[in-house]
Chains A and B, each alone.
Chain A
């Protein structure tokens, strides 16, 4: 149909049509129609393997290559991911380091059948993504292979857990007005993340809203640890020391991506509010007894 048209198509229409044809062909091969689960929109991603057989951290390319041939013929448990079996066979590996790709959000193949897989697989996949994002954000390693991975694979579960956990720990530590403490902590953190992102956007920075929320949420992890320690051991000097250390760690984790998002002349304007929010959270941790 695309060849007999006399009306010239927009350049992106042709690729859309190709994409649709690919999906039709691929789904015909895979048998039962797979329902695409709603996924959060994300910038163009290098697909991350989601199969429980592979770790979500980057597998070494050699094992990925070795996995491709056995996968179609392997004795995969029949209840899990039937649609991924033809996917690697149908699509040649697209030059990426992650090896076999079975994420349909990239448009390169049918989705793993996330509606029929066991719940534990879904939970494990999300948990492993949270852990990998956490390692990438909070322990930034200058020598890691793929610096942009945490940005591409952002999710909001991790930040949600950390914010709620911090609110809960503060609430448990408080001796009076526990529910108000939780409310103030949660509101401060959630509204703070949104306001910090808006601040960067208003200063003319380039950042994606949910990606920034995700990263700011992950940077709360050191403060969570600090709050837990302060709850267990109620000594003012210890609290001050612990809070200072974890505060510095959180700020250090948030610094690279916040500062790279704005014009260098406005870097301090973007970083100061981040620092302010973490200091106020730290103060809350010290003050609650």
Chain B
């Protein structure tokens, strides 16, 4: 063995490291001399190897005092240890030397202090070291030092299986009063489920009654509780931190320095503590229903047969890697609600297939929501800070899972009837947008009736918020549809458990219901709010999605906006709204054309009613007439006014009022264009833009301002540029 010895690095010629050591000055001087001598001999043979050989071979009972040889060799080893760390073999030799007390116990602490591993610590060495403890000749302080050392390098021990095998032996040292805290820590690191036995619990409880509430006993017992909650009951006061003391300072800095010098990445997570709860300081409050339960394992376990798979409690899982490893045999926690409190558990929640487990979670969640927001009439707003945090947590969970919980849905149906529209608005609207598809027969009563009331009695900002929420809801429904439509041909099928089956047409009815509802809200909302441009923008957002339902989400359904939305958008005073409307109309055309061609191609394509085509054509023709042809009031169009009334209004050339030049949204562009086109002209004659040449320049100018929707609309609907008198292109029905 000695022949293979090899210290991690060449001994450094510098002496500075030696001066760091805590020795008496006399010894230090001598060591310096010795080291100096050693250095000269360095070239011949690696002296540190020889030094280790010395410690390996030294006879028991060799005297220490006055023994220069020991001193010299030890200094050599120390030198290497503090500079580069010791190799696994060196650790084995030195540890064996120290613990066997071959040269008495005076050198022991000094040797232990320099056991700085460079890579790993061999498990055998530690096991042998522990076994020497049993001999009983080592002074207590040295024993403590040894255990402290084991704790410090615990993460660097190359394997733990043999150490676990002698758990019982290590456990026997807990009765040694001085060793107990450190032994408890070591046991804590080694404990596994099989090890937790009634007699060990008893022993610890007995110690507890003797020593009082010691944190080290408590920590070990609480770990036992995690593994075997049926054996030990313990409630830890929320204030006390369940962390073992960091009693390994002598090595920590040396270890750190060595590792730094070697650039090694061996992480020594020295503060390996019990799974400390996240440091949330829970305020005392009267109602505790919003508190997310602590993750803990089940007490009343089903008797497990030996053959059945061993289940791992979720509490014991510390990393995603472990989670993946044990994915198929994880034991659910005692309280399902606790999954919401841990991000790791949340990952698992996505895979939970147990119906009862989800029902438990829903019972808890529904209970919390009901108690907080529905049942306690008086104190509801007082706790709004906590409610807010709770709902935010719930929302982020639902976002993570990409779906809503059924209990929050059931809660919302009740809550909407009593909601004032302002309490926790963003959260409630967020939850609302996660509601899954509701059958069209229910949707009115559950959703539309309460929302309608809220919509008409609330501020414009609520209106915007609600439209956005419904927009998100529709988006989720459509995504859901498009994902599953790909999966199987008849996408939505009846399930044997349901009383009412939702077919594709059922789904379409629901979507249609929702779109119609938003159309109604939009029409009346725009009237109530005087065509508020913010509200209009949210409504147009909604229709930007609706117009593409067929092509983007594969839903064979085309629903046009109602006149109450279309005309306010067309006559809006801001160009962005008009542009967006133009884009929406363009997308409608693309969708309808594509649907029509599919209808011709395949038999089972869906049928679009003539009414839809007619509506679309009316809108398009009107838009073209209005913006392009300056013919606002044609007979048979959507907007009609009596000739006399129009004359009475004294608006000159009223039929041109909303063409691309005179439209209030574009007038400023027209004037700007006019000035750029004819810089010299003092009188602005906007009509002059309408001549063939300037008209096409004007269009180009407008499109260059970023009005892509308008450009697409013009390109798709107007065939050729022949100056005035062009016709809108309409789809045949």
A and B pair up: no
